[in-house]
Amino acid sequence: MKKQAISITLDRHSKEFVDTLAEREAVPRSVVFNDIIRAYEKEWLRREFQEGYASQGPEDVAMAEEGMEDYLKIIERDEK
């Protein structure tokens, strides 16, 4: 996966949160940002998926959620 540098502006709380996590985990801030973005992406995809099946029955929703878990595992595997 190709990496690209970006510049962002954070409020003080967000910067302190990222700095604290990076220090606690002993990783660069870029790793923290990537982890946060991936977690947000997974949650966003999960919501989109669930909304798409909102009109379906409970069994269909349960099957869709199972499929979503598999899909997220594939994404994680492909990122490595």
Which residue ranges of the chain lie beneath pLDDT 70? 1, 78-80
SS3 content of the chain, % helix, strand, coil (to 5): 75, 0, 25
Q: Is residue 32 part of a domain?
A: yes
- Given CA atoms 24, 39, 36, 40 in this order, what sign does their dihedral have? negative
SS3 48: helix
Domain containing 33 equals 12-79
Q: Is residue 1 part of a domain?
A: no
pLDDT of residue 11: 96
pLDDT tens digits for range 12-31: 999 999 999 999 999 999 99
Tell me which H or E stretch contains 28. none
**Spatial CA neighbour of 46 closest among 21, 74, 27, 67:** 67
Measured distance CA(47)–CA(53) in Å, rounded = 10
Number of domains composing the chain: 1
pLDDT of residue 12: 96
Q: Is residue 28 part of a domain?
A: yes
